[in-house]
Structures are given as structure tokens and as C-alpha cells.
Chain A
Amino acid sequence: MSQPILSPVHYSPGLWRLAAQRLWSDAIGRYSFLVVAGYLLVVVAVLFGWVAQDWDREVAVNYAPPSGWVTAANRVVVPPSTLVVSGPVPLYGWTDPLEPQWSQAQTYARTASREAPHYLLTLPFGADKWGRDVGKKLLKGTQTSVWVGLVSALVATLLGTFLGALAGYYGRWTDDALNGLYGVLTAIPYLLLVFAVAAVFQQKGVGTLILILGLTGWTGVFRLVRAEYFKHRSREYVLAAGALGASHGRRIWIHILPNVSHIVLVQFSQNLVGFIKSEVILSFLGFGVPVSSVSWGSMLNEAQNELILGKWWQLAVTAVAMAIFVTAVSLLTDAMRDALDPRLRQ
């Protein structure tokens, strides 16, 4: 009996699959990917309210030291409760325009149960000046900072890719005009530009931050993508597509874009690091997140005065969290570039 001989099936693994394999086989790439994934998990968890929703609750005494680091110098004495129930005061001859509601409310307030809140004397990561848990603040701050970095990097990358593609593909006056815009933006020192845009917006908030960073940060992506399109637009496969009747749009977005997408991806992760650092700087200088939120930058800002008083924990945990993340993303970016473009390895 003879059985049909099954010829072994040859899959030709795609660019992305190969890149993923190369990335995973690289120890640095693997670990940095895991670290970044861990942070993203935190972002998602906080974003959906699974953890750290109550980060601004005051659970401990002011500047409660981290557990295990309690010393004579930083031990906090619990302050006496400051709740003074107000009694009637002399009105010096005036009649209260809010009577009788005022007296009723006062009677209610006097009889209302007021339990003195119980404050912890120590927390795993310590407490800030209002007695908020630095650990939870860190989670919330991580979410804000990474989220701002991610979304603004996305905005900047999309914008840069779109404009870069148009400039590189069409050339001529489109290229000239967009290059002009690029020139203007890059002629201004980056932080000055960011401050100028921040001043224009006038309003503080995470959305504003994202817009500021996104609108000022697309130039790097633009330059690289434009150069790639310049190269690709006269390649044979593009010409062939044109000959088969593909429209310009199709050639730009369907044919060329996948071939330059690895550059876009690397740029995205580089921007991510850059924007997180920019957010920290902006918040540190007071242009960043409003008081209703917290980010790495605002935590570092608070920590500058605390450190002088010997309250080091907020600075320490924020700096460590930020250093790990920024390093991991940078290493991951390197590994991705290696994985996506093996020729660079040589």
C-alpha cells in the first residue's frame, strides 16, 4: 500500500511573526516586554477602577513613614481632633437672613454622629502630607503618566505618519508646505514650544496635556516616514500597483504603509518615553495635571519640599517606578528595532 506522500507544508512566516519570535528569543527584549506589560496592566486596572480608586482618601497621619522605616525622627504624633462643634455666637444686633434654616442645620449638626476617623501610623509606602497612601498615589500616578504618554504618542505618531506619508509620496508643493511647518516647529527649542502651547491652552487637565504633547511631538515621526515614502514611491511594487489602477490613497495606505510600519512602531515607543518625561517635567513645573489628579510629575513636585524635611519616601517610590518604566520601554524599543529590522544588527 502506498500512502500519498504529504509534502511538508511550508509556511512563510510574516514579518510580524518573525519579529515577535526574534523579540521573545532576546532575553532583554523578553523581560522589558514583561515589565512594560505589567505597567500597562496597572494602567488598565486603574483606568477601569479596579484598584486605587480611593487614592485621595486620607487614611494615615500626615507623613506617616513607610512600615519598617519608622524612626524616632519621622514618627508622627497623632494630632488631636480639630472638629469643633460650633455653638451659637452673639450676632451683635443683626438678624440672620438664613433663619430658621441656619438654626435647624446647626441643631442637626450638633446632634449628628461624628466619629473621629482612625488614622494609620504607618503604611507600606508611607503617606504624603495629607496622609494619603503613597502606594495608591503611585498606582494612580502611573496610570496618569503612562496614559498621557501612550495617548499623546499615539496622536503624535498618527499625525506624523499621516503628514509624512503625504509629504513623501506627493513631493512637490505638498512636501514644501509640510516641510515648512516642520521647520518652524523644530526651530523652536522643544520645552519652550511646549510651554508656549501650554500657555495658549490656559486650561489644565489630562486632555490638554495630551494635546500639547501630541501637537508638538510629531516632527520626528514625520521626518522618518517622509524619507521612507520618498524611497518607496518609486519602487517597483508601487509602480506595479499604480499600473494595475490602484489609486494614490490605496498606494499610500495599503501598499506602502505596511512596509514602513516597523519604523512607525519604533518611533511610537520612543515618543512614549519622551512624552512621559515631558509630562513629568510639565507637571513638575506646574503646567501639568490639575490638583484633582496625580501623576509622576506632580508627585516629584511635591517631593522636592518634602525631601528637605527628610520625608524621602514619595520621591523614592516615584523615582524608582519611573526609572524602571522608562528603562524598560527604552530597552524594548531597542529590541523591537533589532527584531523588526535584522539588518541593523550587523
Chain B
Amino acid sequence: MRKAVTMEWRTRSRCWGLILWGCLCCSLPGQAEENLKVLHVAISSAETGFDPVMTSDLNTAAIEQQIFESLLTYDYLARPAKLVPRLAASMPVVTEQGRTWTFTLKTGVYFSPDKVFKGRKRELNAADVVYTLMRFMDPANRSPYKFLLDGKIVGLDERAEQARKSGHFDYDSPVAGLQVLDPYHLRVHLKTPDYNFGHAMAQPMMGVVAREVIDAYAGDTASHPVGSGPYQLAQWVRSARIQLVKNPYYRHEVWHFVPTQDAGDQRVVAQMEGKVIPQIDRIDIQVVEEAQSAWLSFGKGELDILGIPAQFSPLALDHDQLRSDWADRGVRLDRIIEPAIAYYFINQQDPQLGGMSPARIALRRALFLAINDDEMIRVISKGQAWRNAYPIPAGVAGADPSYQSMLNFDPVLANRLLDEFGYHRDASGYRQYPDGQPLVVRYTTGVSSQDRELDEVMKKSLDRIGVRFVSEKLKFPDIIRAERQCRIQMRLSGWIADYPDGDNFMQLWYGPHIHENNASCVQDPEWDRLYEQTLTLPDSPQRDALYHRLARRLELMGVTKVSTSSVRNVLSQPWVLGYKAHPILPSVWSYLDVNTSHGSGH
């Protein structure tokens, strides 16, 4: 899932998993709300609208996770992340060597009330699931998560192709691969065995929607989320504040998760076992872009859960342990390895930096060589990250912590390379193209003060090799849009695992994913051919060998430099019950409770 990179540094943790830095106010002013349980959280970048098929960023997914439900999800406590049923009554029955998946839905699942339903309770059924899956392939939706279904389901790609020609997607006639057996049974036929299909069905963007709602709000589906999840949207002030309240039609679900060996699981279970989900009445989400504001709020006891912004980690951690001043207050620290990467990419379609001529490849490699990742880790991440050059991070199937990058920081090599390929310095000491054009790199970041630090890193890097630096400042949703349109020249981007498999990372450079998640806009036939081979393989040494070839080719062609991976440090206040940081789930609010009798400081 796309995460704001800048935030990775500053606040990454907040966006991970449980997003954010959140805050939990137990008591609000006013008699009526005396006993209302409210969870106040903050997200680090503005939401991008609540139509799951169209969103791809972590902050929005965190909210959608609570409003919509997918067939499967991940167990709250099990590590590594383990698939469990959500809308499905049980795990799917997989037959024909992984080609046929049969899902049985829970009964009594209702959509949250909406005027489209005219006062009736609308039960969720198998046809809704089929409709939801079809929407991903509708060209009109331009779904960034189309890759989860692309080329997988029998007959669905043909339907999409038809729609591309006719300009109209036919949702009415059945697709061979999506078979509704009865309202509670669904059978999916895959073209080839797919080991990740279960993970695909657990994504928040696979949350099931009702067709009449989408049709009724056509053109503005992003502001009318109607799902079957524990919460529904109550108030939405764009880019500022989002309020979720309990879905009154939510089915009876009881908190029951099996504790693991992890320290703290026993406490979580003791606090939550047997409680009805959800416990918290209202989730109050604010957009807080500056890490400092969130950090100070948490310190004042107004915040409940806070992913520690990296630059403030020295104030919370002492040799990676919670400092005693926090521990004495009863604050708890959750520390997990982030299944995420921060990677520099260069747009391969860019007229100035793109192209496959040796001179351009040399230029891009030199740009990557000039970046000092260790300095970033030390100065910006305050040691809460490490150099990871492999596209697949630790904790994800296919990871290789011992992978040797060919693009490690080496300004001498970078300069020499540029000299050899004719990028000579002009009178001012800056380099120009071999044909005499000025050489300028436009680097895109967000608008916060942390982004300015990223700018400084890049400015320093480019100065080392005599390349001029120009900064482009965009809001996070605009950056995402520009990436999809291949308008970014160079950026430090981030990706956090949607599911714990290497494919979720490697697909970021797959040619057909341009305008979706392939932000480098790279289309390399050789690379694509190898990638397609990996899709037919389970997690295995053969697949790892192919992944190593893929990773090296990304460096050889100067497409990307995987920079770092990091640790997520999450603080939670003593009155939060049942919190455990989850590496994959974008939010876990419905599994939490708050202790209203505990003084929360306000």
C-alpha cells in the first residue's frame, strides 16, 4: 500500500498498521457523552476518498478497514500474519490444485443504514461480492489495486477488454469464473493456481459494497461509503476530520483471539476476551500533518495511540527501550519490524532522466550512488531504520537481508561515472548533458517540515555530484495522482506490505501496472517476462532466485534504489485496552476498548 514516504521518516510508524498517532479521549465535555467511549486518532496525511476500489494509501485504508469488510482478514494476534475469515463463515475450500476457491458467507450480515435502502435492512450476499470484484476490472474505476485480480479470474479479463472497447462494463451477465451458487455461497475459478489469492481477498479495498449504493451515488461514491463493517461514516470534513460511529446493524461478533508467545498477548486477551465487537462508540480521526503537533498532544495525555515520529524517538526510547519517564506513566511501547521499504525511484518515461541509453542509465545510477542512506538513518530516522537494499523487507516471504546493493553510497564512483559518460561541469561547477543542456533534477516531496529534511538530503546528494536540484512541493494526494500519471521525476516513495508476500513488492515495477502502482513508470520486457514467471511459483528457492535477478536488474537499469526499512514504535496510553501493533492490518480500532474510569488527563 502506498504510504507517504516522508512520513516514513517522520511518522511512519504512525501510519503503519494502526495508523497513526491517535488519541483517545475518554470523557468529553457534556453530560450526554459522559459514558460514550471515543477513540481520537490522527492520520498523517489527508484521506483520498472512501470508495475502496479507488484508494491505495494507508491512511484511507485504515478508515475503510472499519467501514467495509472483505471476505478474509488477518488474525489480530498471530505472527506472522495469518489469514482468518471475516465475511466468510470459514476459510475457503480450495480445490483443483488451487484453481477453485469456494467461499461460504456468514448469514445475518447487513449493510449500514443508508437512504438508498429506503429503511429496509439490506443483507449482504454472494452477488455483492461478485459485483465488488468486478468493479476492480471496470476501466472506468481505474483501480490502483486492479493488480490483485488482473489475469487471474476466468472470464473477468475478457469482460474488462470488452468494456474497454464498448466503454461500458457489463455487470449483469455472469462471469464464468465468478459463480454464485446461492446467496451464501460463491465459487471463484482461477486461470492458474494462485497462492496469494487468499491474501488478495483480505485487503481493505476488497471490502464488499452494494450495487444499488454505487449506482445511486455514481460519480460521488467516494463520499458515500456504505459497508457492513463495525463502523459507519458519521461526519466528514475533507482533509480535516472524519468521525466514525458504530454501525447499528453490525452483527454480533465476540472478541476471541488465541494468544501467542508474544509478551503482552496475555494482557490483551485478559482485557478483551469475550467482549462484543466493537466496544468503542466513536472514532474521531483528525488529519495532523505535522509530527510535532501529534507528539505534543500525546505527551499531554490527549492522544491515545501514537506511532512515534522518528525524529522524536530519542525522547521516547533509550537504547530501544521505553524511557522511564514514559513507563512510569503507564504508557506502553509496541515495537515491531515494519514490513515496508522506502525506495528512491526515477520516472523512466521522463524526457530528462528516463530512457535506456547507456548515458541515461549511468546518470540515474550516479544519482542513486550519491545518496547517503546511512546518514539519513542516523540524522533523520534517529537510528530507527536500517539499510535494506532488497525490494522485499524483513518479515515478508522472499526477503533477503544479506542482499548486496550495487548502488551503495559512493560519490567518487558517481562522479567518475558522470565524467566517463560526458556529463561535464560548466563554469559554475554544475554538470550538463553531453549535448550541453543544463542538468537539473526535480525532486518531489510533501509540504511538511520533515519533507524539507528529505529535500536537504537530496540537495546534499546532488551537490556531491554537481547536479542542480529543484524542489517540487505537493500535497500527498496530489503526489499519488502525479505518480499515477507519470509526472513525477524523482521521489522517495514508500510501500508497506498489503500481504506478507514478496509479490506485493515486486509488482511495483511491472510494466502493465503503469498508471496504477508502478510509480517508476518502467516498462522493461525482459523484467516483465521474468516477473510473470514468478507468479506461477510458490514461495520457494526458485522464486527467490528470480526475485534476485529482478532486484539486480532494477539497479542495473537505474530504475530504483531501495533505501531503508525501519522499526515501528507505537506508544499507547494506559487507558487503552487490548492494543497490539499489527504489521499488516491498516487499523485495529474495532478490537480495542478504553477504560473510562482511568483518568485520561482531560
**B-chain residues with CB within 8 Å of residue A112 when the two chains form the complex:** 412, 416
Among A94-102, A270-278, A326-334, which stretch is in contact with chain B? A94-102
A98 near B358 with CB under 8 A, answer yes
In the complex, what distance in Å separates the CA atom of A85 from the CA atom of B250? Answer: 59
Per the CB 8 Å criterion, the residue count for chain B at the interface is 50
B449 interface neighbour in A83, A91, A204, A286, Cβ under 8 Å: A286
B379 interface neighbour in A62, A83, A308, Cβ under 8 Å: A62
What string of 1s and 0s marks CB contacts (under 8 Å) between A111-155 and chain B?
Answer: 010100000000000000110000000000000000000000000
Given contacts A91-B556, A96-B556, A291-B455, contact A309 B471 (CB under 8 A): no
B456 near A130 with CB under 8 A, answer yes
A105 near B406 with CB under 8 A, answer no
* Minimum Cβ distance to chain A for residue B542 (Å): 13
* Minimum Cβ distance to chain A for residue B492 (Å): 14
B408 near A86 with CB under 8 A, answer yes
* Minimum Cβ distance to chain B for residue A54 (Å): 12
Among B237-245, B311-319, B502-510, B568-576, which stretch is in contact with chain A? B311-319
In the complex, what distance in Å separates the CA atom of A101 from the CA atom of B548? Answer: 24
* Minimum Cβ distance to chain B for residue A208 (Å): 13
Interface range, A side: 35 or more
A109 near B379 with CB under 8 A, answer no
In the complex, what distance in Å separates the CA atom of A204 from the CA atom of B460? Answer: 18
In the complex, what distance in Å separates the CA atom of A86 from the CA atom of B407? Answer: 8
Among B94-102, B370-378, B477-485, B587-595, which stretch is in contact with chain A? B370-378
- Assess whether B224 is interfacial by the CB under 8 Å rule: no
CB within 8 Å: A-B pair count: 111
In the complex, what distance in Å separates the CA atom of A302 from the CA atom of B456? Answer: 11
B292 interface neighbour in A97, A98, A308, Cβ under 8 Å: A308
A89 interface neighbour in B315, B405, B416, Cβ under 8 Å: B405
| CB-nearest residue of chain A to B458 | A291
Looking at chain A's contact residues, the main secondary structure is: loop
In the complex, what distance in Å separates the CA atom of A204 from the CA atom of B408? Answer: 31
A105 interface neighbour in B374, B413, B463, Cβ under 8 Å: B413
- Assess whether A259 is interfacial by the CB under 8 Å rule: no
In the complex, what distance in Å separates the CA atom of A256 from the CA atom of B462? Answer: 54
- Assess whether A344 is interfacial by the CB under 8 Å rule: no
A82 near B413 with CB under 8 A, answer no
B372 interface neighbour in A82, A129, A304, Cβ under 8 Å: A82
**A-chain residues with CB within 8 Å of residue B296 when the two chains form the complex:** 308
* Minimum Cβ distance to chain A for residue B556 (Å): 6
Given contacts A86-B410, A291-B455, contact A94 B552 (CB under 8 A): yes
| CB-nearest residue of chain A to B295 | A308
Looking at chain B's contact residues, the main secondary structure is: helix
A101 near B420 with CB under 8 A, answer yes
Given contacts A130-B379, A292-B469, contact A101 B421 (CB under 8 A): yes
- Assess whether A7 is interfacial by the CB under 8 Å rule: no
- Assess whether B335 is interfacial by the CB under 8 Å rule: no
What string of 1s and 0s marks CB contacts (under 8 Å) between B39-80 and chain A?
Answer: 000000000000000000000000000000000000000000
A82 near B449 with CB under 8 A, answer no
B410 near A109 with CB under 8 A, answer yes
**A-chain residues with CB within 8 Å of residue B553 when the two chains form the complex:** 94
Question: Which residues 399-435 of B have a CB within 8 angstroms of A?
Answer: 404-406, 408-410, 412-413, 416-417, 420-421
A305 near B409 with CB under 8 A, answer no
**B-chain residues with CB within 8 Å of residue A82 when the two chains form the complex:** 372, 374-375, 409
Question: Which residues 371-403 of B have a CB within 8 angstroms of A?
Answer: 372, 374-375, 378-379
**A-chain residues with CB within 8 Å of residue B473 when the two chains form the complex:** 204, 286
Question: Which residues 57-91 of A have a CB within 8 angstroms of B?
Answer: 62, 79, 82-86, 89-91
B361 interface neighbour in A90, A97, A286, Cβ under 8 Å: A97
Given contacts A98-B362, A286-B449, A308-B292, contact A92 B408 (CB under 8 A): no
What string of 1s and 0s marks CB contacts (under 8 Å) between B266-297 and chain A?
Answer: 00000000000000000000000001100110
**A-chain residues with CB within 8 Å of residue B410 when the two chains form the complex:** 83-86, 109
B420 interface neighbour in A79, A84, A105, A129, Cβ under 8 Å: A105
- Assess whether A290 is interfacial by the CB under 8 Å rule: yes
Given contacts A92-B549, A106-B413, A292-B469, contact A301 B452 (CB under 8 A): yes
- Assess whether A93 is interfacial by the CB under 8 Å rule: yes
**B-chain residues with CB within 8 Å of residue A302 when the two chains form the complex:** 449, 452
B362 near A109 with CB under 8 A, answer no
In the complex, what distance in Å separates the CA atom of A249 from the CA atom of B393? Answer: 74
- Assess whether A108 is interfacial by the CB under 8 Å rule: yes
B460 near A98 with CB under 8 A, answer no
Give the 6 A-B residue pairs with the shortest CB-CB distance, closest first: A109-B413, A82-B374, A105-B416, A291-B455, A92-B549, A109-B412
A-B contact pairs, 20 of them (CB 8 A): A79-B378, A82-B375, A91-B556, A93-B549, A94-B553, A94-B556, A98-B358, A101-B417, A105-B416, A109-B410, A109-B416, A129-B453, A204-B471, A291-B471, A298-B452, A302-B449, A305-B291, A305-B311, A309-B311, A309-B312
